[in-house]
Amino acid sequence: MLRRRDLLLSALAAASLPALPVTARAQTPLTPLPPAGTPRLPPDFLWGASTSAYQIEGAVAEGGRKPSIWDVFSHTPGRIADGTNGDVACDHYNRYADDVALMGDLGLQAYRFSIAWPRVMPDGTGAVNAAGLDFYDRLVDALLARGIQPMACLYHWDLPQALQERGGWHNRDIADWFADYARASVRRLGDRVKPWAMLNEPSVHAIFGHGFGNHAPGLTGWDSYVKAQHHLNLAQGTGIAAVRAERSDLKLGTVLSLQPIFPSSQDAADITAAARFDACWNTINLDPLFHGRYPALFADDFAPLIKSGDMETIHAPVDFLGVNYYGPSYIKHDPAAFLAQASWGAVPADTPHTLLGWPISAQGMVDVLTRLRDDYGNPPVFITENGACYEDPAPVDGVVQDPERTEYFRAHLVAAGEAIAQGCALKGYYAWSLLDNFEWAEGERRRFGMVRVDFATQQRTPKQSGLYLSQLMKAHGSGKAP
């Protein structure tokens, strides 16, 4: 423990030299991404990092936790690319104190974590498991002792398996189950945690978990997707209402994955497919939340599920919106695709991309934020995830050189400053992710961390990108959580 922290502190000291460590490895010259320059963010901008429970905690059978849909899915042969699972992950459940010390040393002002529903209510409903909440209690106290402002997210995809067996997100009762779980969490932690996000990326959970089936719970098809999506939206509304009734001093929001959607060609069929995909990815959450209706393109598909009062529940105001931004999608017409006959198509030549093949466009973050400004009333926004997956080399002298990820962060933080200059109500930025972790269907082989995790030894090693963010965080003063 001491050795790891010593290493980090000496790496931090080295990184506080005036030149930021954006040094390309000799064999891969790095072309800076537009926009150029150094991030310029206001002094009250909030700097932090995000994680999620199943991706880092491990300890899946400790403290009374019972299985989630991801435990079942990741233990199903063939589901995870490298055959790993979240049983241990970063062992954060047992190592949280060291991890919080690491966050403090890096200069994080804020930290977004998610609460595991199967720790708090192992059977999904009914009895609250005090030992499960004790873990988050300890985590929150440790964060506050280091001056780090916690944001809790109530649902980052790890539904108790017991609820899946009752229909999961296909059962409309889940809106009440979620409200009960949210209430129990806030009762225990709401005296110290002030910003609460209801859901993480509901459209992604609906599309991949309930449409493509390559995420838990592995369900497929359009009807399955639509049902899950409506009940996720509904639970976001019942959660907000339950938590507001519990305490009036909290800041409540939800977290959406948003991205610009472009047609992959100028063919009329691709242009209309892109519009349908945009509705499924972006406005399927935004329109109900901010306008109280589903996008016109799919209103008929959702109508049979909507009961009296649903849209009012979903439309309840939020105090902030969390935006997870990674890059744009290029979409083609695809008659075989379950998702509105639209799927990923050709990307313009020379578009930079990450190891996962995701196109990179920092300008896309500006586009997403100006859309919120123009079409959705310019709500207070926090970027709650932004980051990139690359193949990292082994550490040298206690640091992992990851110039591409460092450059990705730089370009997107410049874009964040640009969006603020254009009048967007962007208030802060949480990098994804603090640690390398269990990257869902990709397993442990795909890394997003600011800090490397050796999954065999659990050693944490700072990356150049983490040290870069650390310098910026330390130089930019003190931000304010929602």
Q: Is 408 exposed, middle or buried (0-12, 13-18, 19+ CB in 10 A)?
A: buried
Which residues of the shown chain bind ligand IFM in the complex (CB under 6 A)? 52, 55, 201, 324, 385, 432, 439, 448
- Which residue, 197 or 273, has its beta carbon nearer to ligand IFM? 197
Contacts of 413 (CB under 8 A, 6+ apart): 39, 41, 429, 472
Token pair for 269? 């069929």
- Which residue, 89 or 274, has its beta carbon nearer to ligand IFM? 89
- Which residue, 324 or 471, has its beta carbon nearer to ligand IFM? 324
Please, what is the minimum distance in Å from the beta carbon of residue 365 to ligand IFM? 14
| H or E element, residue 101 | helix 92-106
| H or E element, residue 56 | helix 53-56
Q: Is 28 exposed, middle or buried (0-12, 13-18, 19+ CB in 10 A)?
A: exposed
Strand partners, 452: 461
- Which residue, 226 or 434, has its beta carbon nearer to ligand IFM? 434
Strand partners, 114: 153
Residue whose tokens read 């050709």: 346
Q: Identify the active-site residue in 165, 246, 385, 391.
A: 385
- Which residue, 418 or 439, has its beta carbon nearer to ligand IFM? 439
Contacts of 150 (CB under 8 A, 6+ apart): 110, 111, 112, 113, 139, 140, 143, 144, 192, 193, 195
Please, what is the minimum distance in Å from the beta carbon of residue 103 to ligand IFM? 18
Please, what is the minimum distance in Å from the beta carbon of residue 439 to ligand IFM? 5
Q: What is the rounded (10 degree) CA torsion for 156, 162, 167, 170?
A: -10
Please, what is the minimum distance in Å from the beta carbon of residue 111 to ligand IFM? 15
How many residues would you count in the chain?
482
372 by DSSP, 3-state: which? Answer: helix
Phi, psi of 255 (to 5 degrees): -120, 125
Q: Identify the active-site residue in 201, 404, 407, 439.
A: 201
Residue 201 annotated in active site: yes
- Which residue, 233 or 324, has its beta carbon nearer to ligand IFM? 324
Please, what is the minimum distance in Å from the beta carbon of residue 426 to ligand IFM? 18
Please, what is the minimum distance in Å from the beta carbon of residue 104 to ligand IFM? 23
Q: Cα(347)–Cα(357) distance, rounded to whole angstroms?
A: 10
Give the residue numbers marked as catalytic: 201, 385
